[in-house]
Structure 1
Amino acid sequence: MPDWGPVFVAVALFVLLTPGVLIQIPGKNRVVEFGTFQTSGLSVIVHTLIYFTLVCILLLAIQIHMYIFYTATMADWAPVIVGVILFVILSPGLLFSLPGTNRGVDFGNLKTNGKAIAVHTLIFFAIYSILIIAVNLHIYTG
């Protein structure tokens, strides 16, 4: 029975923590900037650490699950690890932005836009869902 809890938590955190959407730490001119649609390598690292912390708390400590029936399992690190890797790779503007600001795809320009955030969120959701739900990827620690 698939557990949709990690998918919804990971996608929501991806949207909320994408640098430049709501907040950027550190900003270009200040420590914290709001709604700049800008990013940097350092802010992706900081936001990834925040993402990792929150996803660990929500999925491992609080154990948010969405089952029809409850099944007890060991700590599954796959949703955390997959989410963190995808967060970094798909942060709009870091490696690429799809669509770009002035072209179909911009590479490494450290800028984003609303359409790119929506597209990257859909890509994140699709890849994350495939790996966690369809492939049923698990990484258990003993």
Structure 2
Amino acid sequence: MSDWGPVFVAVVLFILLTPGLLIQVPGKSRYIEFGNFQTSGVSILVHSIIYFALICIFLLAVGVHISNLFKSRNFLVMADWAPVVIGVVLFVLLSPGLLFSFPRNSKQLEFGSMKTNGKAIAIHTVLFFAIYAVSILAAHLHIYT
């Protein structure tokens, strides 16, 4: 049975916490900046910590599950850390502007620019969704404690 809960939570958090889209902590000139489409290594670190905390709350503490309502719900009681670990790693690696930004305004692909835009966030979100869904739903990766 496929549980889409971790995928939904991870993708929504990726969108909401992408530095520079809604908020950037710390900002370039102020502690908090809103919608500046900028990023930095420090802001990606801060947003990653917030992402980690929220994904732990939603997946491990609350246990968000979205599955077929007509099938039995036999979810494991043990904590599965794979959705958390994979989500945090992908959040860092796919944050637009850190390693790469695709597309950029003047170029198709730019490395380490620490800038982003709406198109880049959309494409990085699709990449995040695809890699995360394949890892969790198709490859069935699990890390139990």
- After TM superposition, the score normalised by the length of structure 2 is 0.96
d(CA) in 2 for partners of 1:30 and 1:101?
25
Q: Does 1:112 align with 2:120?
A: no
Q: Which amino acid aligns with 1:78?
A: A
Unaligned runs of 5+ in 2: none
Q: Deviations over 1:86-110 (max 9, x none)?
A: 0000000011001022101010010
Match runs of 1:45-124 below 5 Å: 45-68=45-68, 69-73=72-76, 74-124=78-128
Match of 1:43 in 2: 43
Query: Would you say the 8 A contact 1:19–1:25 is kept in 2?
Result: yes
Seq. identity, %: 64
Q: Which amino acid aligns with 1:100?
A: R
Specify the SS of the correspondent of 1:26: coil
- Provide runs of 4+ in structure 1 moved above 2 Å: none
Q: Deviations over 1:101-122 (max 9, x none)?
A: 2101010010000000000000
Unaligned runs of 5+ in 1: none
Q: Deviations over 1:69-99 (max 9, x none)?
A: 3113111000000000000000000110010
Aligned-pair Cα RMSD in Å:
0.6
Query: Would you say the 8 A contact 1:101–1:112 is kept in 2?
Result: no
Match of 1:9 in 2: 9
How many residues in Structure 1 have an aligned counterpart in Structure 2? 141
Q: Which amino acid aligns with 1:16?
A: L
d(CA) in 2 for partners of 1:77 and 1:3?
14
Q: Which amino acid aligns with 1:104?
A: Q
